[in-house]
């Protein structure tokens, strides 16, 4: 049978009904995969031997090759010419079967499949696997769905200078040839492979071999961070063992920091992959360390939630992400040096989830309607992560640790190395003593949208209103913070919101609902509170109360209930006294991105935020991370080329700051936006420090230059006419749209909606979503833009991933338009 080359069209996503049918037919018992990565820079060979037990009958194999050389079932050849969009029909016999798939595969540069990256610092090549969702078949033939778990054995040939790592320990049996021992049962999406001339560090904790790795050019940075990373890893293991009563079972635990990674990290059992930006090459603020610690804990939680017990289908992805999000923040706060992890979460995650939960695309935490795997990817969002974590946290408070974790342990024991559903977990909690959880399940897990909690000050009540179209009667237990006068002391009262109106005690001063973010709801600030917060926030010592107040301000602004001018006044009054990195960094960045563009005079508003940041820089301790956080915001707000040039040269920097890699590019980017740093200067900066970070900033800055050539250059990358790695592509989208460059970018508003559909032919689903979102014309706030969006959304042939991203981008745009129409020039 001759090989089949260039199968037609992008691969089809697996539908839930197809997965159910295939799982009923097949039990996949073992994969034996041989990969030859020593065949050049473009392709590699893949040989997969799959053992399975079948009820007998037709099914299909998933494979996405450059060339499908041969497929046999029980030694009989299959017509590879039948391959269609990633699927090959096969027929199995009743009983034991062996399927053998030999193919030529292509390395990818989009962060999916087997990604191959070139380090600009030294030209060395690095590869890693990202098998999530539909990507595994681009590495090996398989049956790609989460409920067909199996044992995996990998054999890898690689260049002699490479090291190889995976889910299980890898042994170099001869130069360039590596054998990985059989794994415990894993689904296709958790298969790991990391290969290249990586710098590897090893340690041990409580009998668990530990590893860290990064590109060779970043070796000294990993050496610097290793003590903190190994310490965090050990602390997290100890706490998870204590809480779960079940030891980590996957042998070695390697954490690989890899180039051009799409997600923050991926929880592949025994070999977690992270973005290598988490190995810090420049000075960092505290919030970056908290975030990294949280990600370490989050991914480790997945070893139990997701890897030991895997969701049966993606409609229960919350069984992975909601739990890992909750456990990550909890464990980081409880047992590491970052006890303020929940404060960081309040700024970095809470509003992400609330915004997602109020869009037309909102969905339940569980049973989220993931009809196929590409739709499932869209639901890896703020609802499945941030909202799910808060809801799990609420349930933990309700049940207490003893019942909560007894139910979790029961869940692990009953479904060990298998698959489970929401119903399985709820039953485990009920067996553990939780009582009837049907109201919790129905109200919180199966009903979309948040409640809104508003203070009616004259009536002395808090009103509860569910999201329109998603009726619910959810109970909220929370605090209400009140002050008798602006600037006065706060009093906290415990309140249970179990009706549509609940009486509360109200003083003459500000009132903040849910000051410690104990529930999931859209909270707002009434007029008297808005007027009094300028005096109260600078005197508020509780950082979580301040975070809640800023979040409530953002909620009101999102719904066009706060004038941009009022928001700027409050920022100007209160931000110079904010004493946390998160409070300064996240709030000022929100102001620059959301408030300044809709102000009556955007340049004046930007100047005001620059001055606010400058005041905080001046008052912060020299050399502190608070100073650095404020200075980053000041740079982002600066349009003064003389000031930027002075900082770039180092002469006018405030004491305690240095121009390192990150700050240099942040300043160059602002100069590029202003038209004061041209292509030659940017190219020279890249050549001077040819790191991956420089490469990404360089792309962002080139797209931001205020001339027609820059915008055309960016658009070639959007359409796929010019192919670039994933991180550079995302950076180009960030740089393209700039406030004040509308004469250059206005023609691309219509082109976005015209050219977007065709990008589905040239990108995988993860980058398809990232590019649709990252290039959305967010600054084109007009009825015409909204109308163009809705015209595109009416196209029945629009790819589902693009449809979701355009729905979300348009929802946000409509909220911005409402602000502009209500408070803009009259």
Structure tokens at 407: 């139910």
Instruction: Please spell the DSSP secondary structure of 367-415, one letter per residue.
Output: S----BHHHHHHTSSTIIIIIHHHHHHHHHHHH-HHHHHHHHHHHHHHT
Owner of token pair 């290249």:
196
Residue 330 host element (H or E)? helix 318-335
Q: Is 258 exposed, middle or buried (0-12, 13-18, 19+ CB in 10 A)?
A: buried
758-to-64, 512, 797 alpha-carbon distances in Å? 20, 47, 11
Q: Is 783 exposed, middle or buried (0-12, 13-18, 19+ CB in 10 A)?
A: exposed
Question: Do 391 and 445 meet the contact criterion of CB atoms below 8 Å apart?
Answer: yes
Pairwise CA distance, residues 698 & 679, whole Å: 9
Structure tokens at 762: 């040239």
CA atoms within 13 A on the CB side of 286: 20
Pairwise CA distance, residues 574 & 539, whole Å: 9
Pairwise CA distance, residues 222 & 201, whole Å: 9
Question: Do 4 and 80 meet the contact criterion of CB atoms below 8 Å apart?
Answer: yes
Query: Has 299 been annotated as catalytic?
Result: yes
Which three-class secondary structure state does DSSP give residue 593?
Answer: helix
Backbone angles phi, psi at 757, to 5 degrees: -55, -40
CA quadruple 539, 544, 546, 552: dihedral positive or negative?
negative
In the structure, how many helices (H) and strands (E) does the chain have?
Answer: 27, 29
Residue 267 host element (H or E)? none
Backbone angles phi, psi at 678, to 5 degrees: -95, -175
CA quadruple 365, 390, 277, 271: dihedral positive or negative?
negative
Residue 129 host element (H or E)? strand 125-130
Backbone angles phi, psi at 535, to 5 degrees: -85, -30
- CA angle in degrees (0–180, nearest 5) for 260-262-265: 100
Which three-class secondary structure state does DSSP give residue 132?
Answer: coil
The single-letter DSSP state of residue 214 is E
The single-letter DSSP state of residue 799 is -
Structure tokens at 237: 């293991």
Residue 43 host element (H or E)? strand 43-54
Could you tell me if residue 276 is left (phi over 0), alpha (psi between -120 and 50 degrees) or otherwise beta? Answer: alpha
Q: Return the bridge partners of 296, or none.
A: none
The single-letter DSSP state of residue 641 is H
Q: Are strands 271-275 and 253-258 parallel, antiparallel or unpaired?
A: parallel
The catalytically annotated residue of 260, 267, 299, 427 is 299
Our measurement of the distance from residue 479's CA atom to the centroid of its chain's CA atoms, rounded to an integer in Å, reads: 30
Q: Return the bridge partners of 362, or none.
A: none
Q: Are strands 521-523 and 451-456 parallel, antiparallel or unpaired?
A: parallel
Q: Which residues of 198-224 are buried (b: 16+ CB within 10 A; e: fewer)?
A: bbebebebeebebbbbbbbbbbebbee
H helices of 419-542, in order, are 422-429, 438-440, 527-536
Our measurement of the distance from residue 83's CA atom to the centroid of its chain's CA atoms, rounded to an integer in Å, reads: 33
Pairwise CA distance, residues 354 & 556, whole Å: 12
Which three-class secondary structure state does DSSP give residue 96?
Answer: strand
Active site residues: 299
């Amino acid at each position: 049978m001759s090989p089949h080359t260039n199968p037609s069209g992008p691969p089809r996503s697996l539908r839930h009904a197809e997965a159910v049918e295939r799982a009923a037919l097949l039990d996949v018992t073992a994969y034996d995969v041989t990969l030859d990565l020593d065949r050049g820079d473009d392709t590699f060979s893949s040989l997969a031997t799959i053992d399975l037990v079948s009820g007998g009958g037709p099914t299909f194999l998933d494979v996405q090759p450059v060339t499908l050389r041969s497929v046999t079932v029980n030694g009989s050849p299959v017509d590879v010419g039948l391959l269609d969009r990633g699927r090959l029909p096969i027929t199995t016999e009743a009983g034991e079967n062996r399927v053998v798939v030999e193919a030529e595969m292509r390395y990818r540069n989009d962060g999916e499949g087997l990604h191959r990256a070139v380090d600009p610092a030294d030209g060395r090549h690095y590869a890693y696997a990202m098998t999530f969702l539909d990507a595994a078949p681009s590495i090996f033939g398989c049956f790609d769905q989460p409920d067909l778990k199996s044992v995996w054995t990998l054999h890898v040939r690689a260049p002699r200078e490479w090291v190889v790592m995976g889910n299980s320990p890898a042994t170099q049996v001869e130069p360039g040839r590596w054998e990985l021992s059989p794994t415990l049962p894993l689904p296709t999406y958790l298969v790991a492979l990391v290969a290249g001339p990586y710098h590897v560090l090893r340690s041990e904790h409580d009998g668990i071999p530990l590893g860290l790795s990064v590109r060779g050019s970043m070796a000294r940075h990993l050496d610097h961070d290793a003590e903190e990373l190994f310490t965090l890893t050990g602390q997290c293991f100890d706490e998870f063992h204590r809480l779960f009563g079940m030891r980590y079972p996957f042998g070695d635990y390697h954490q690989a920091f890899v180039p051009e990674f799409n997600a923050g990290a991926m929880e592949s059992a025994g070999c977690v992959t992270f973005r290598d930006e988490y190995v810090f090459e420049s000075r960092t603020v505290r919030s970056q360390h908290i975030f990294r610690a949280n990600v370490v804990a989050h991914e480790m939680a997945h070893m139990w939630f997701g890897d030991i017990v895997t969701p049966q289908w993606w409609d229960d992805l919350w069984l992975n992400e909601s739990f890992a999000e909750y456990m990550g923040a909890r464990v980081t706060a409880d047992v590491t040096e970052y006890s303020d992890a929940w404060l960081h979460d309040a700024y970095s995650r809470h509003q992400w989830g609330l915004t997602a939960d109020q869009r037309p695309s909102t969905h339940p935490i569980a049973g989220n309607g993931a009809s196929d795997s590409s739709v499932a990817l869209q639901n890896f969002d703020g609802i499945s992560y941030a909202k799910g974590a808060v809801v799990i946290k609420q349930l933990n408070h309700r049940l207490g640790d003893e019942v909560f974790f007894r139910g979790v342990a029961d869940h692990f024991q009953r479904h060990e190395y298998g698959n489970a559903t929401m119903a399985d977990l709820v039953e485990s909690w009920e067996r553990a003593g939780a009582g009837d959880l049907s109201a919790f399940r129905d109200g919180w897990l199966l009903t979309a949208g948040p409640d809104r909690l508003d203070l009616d000050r004259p009536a002395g009540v808090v009103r509860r209103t569910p999201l329109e179209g998603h009726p619910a009667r959810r109970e909220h237990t929370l605090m209400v913070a009140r002050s008798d006068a602006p600037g006065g002391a706060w009093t906290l009262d415990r309140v249970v919101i179990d009706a549509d109106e609940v009486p509360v005690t109200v003083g003459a001063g500000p009132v903040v609902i849910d000051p410690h973010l104990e529930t999931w709801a859209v909270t707002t600030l009434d007029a008297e509170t808005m007027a009094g917060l300028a005096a109260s926030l600078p005197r508020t010592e509780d950082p979580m109360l301040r975070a809640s107040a800023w979040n409530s301000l953002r909620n009101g602004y999102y719904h066009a209930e706060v004038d941009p001018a009022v928001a700027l006044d409050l920022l100007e009054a209160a931000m110079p006294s904010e004493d946390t990195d998160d409070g300064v960094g996240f709030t000022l960045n929100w102001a620059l991105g959301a408030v300044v563009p809709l102000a009556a005079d955007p340049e004046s508003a930007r100047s005001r935020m620059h001055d606010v940041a400058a005041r905080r820089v001046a008052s912060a301790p020299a050399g502190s991370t608070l100073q650095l956080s404020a200075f980053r915001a000041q740079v982002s707000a600066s349009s003064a080329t003389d000031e930027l040039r002075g900082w770039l040269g180092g002469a006018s920097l405030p004491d305690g700051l240095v121009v390192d890699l990150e700050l240099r590019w942040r300043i160059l980017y602002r100069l590029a936006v202003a038209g004061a740093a041209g292509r030659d200067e940017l190219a020279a900066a890249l050549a001077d420090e040819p790191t991956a970070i420089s490469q990404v900033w360089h792309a962002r800055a080139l797209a931001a230059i205020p001339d027609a050539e820059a915008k055309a250059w960016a658009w070639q990358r959007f359409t796929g006419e010019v192919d670039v790695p994933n991180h550079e592509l995302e950076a180009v989208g960030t740089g393209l749209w700039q406030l004040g460059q509308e004469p250059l970018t206005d023609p691309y508003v219509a082109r976005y909606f015209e050219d977007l559909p065709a990008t589905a032919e040239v990108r995988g689903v993860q980058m398809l979503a990232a590019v649709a979102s990252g290039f959305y014309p967010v600054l084109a706030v007009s009825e015409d833009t909204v109308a163009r969006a809705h015209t595109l959304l009416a196209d029945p042939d629009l790819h589902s991933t693009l449809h979701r991203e355009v729905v979300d981008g348009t929802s946000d745009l409509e909220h911005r338009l409402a602000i502009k129409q209500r408070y803009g020039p009259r």
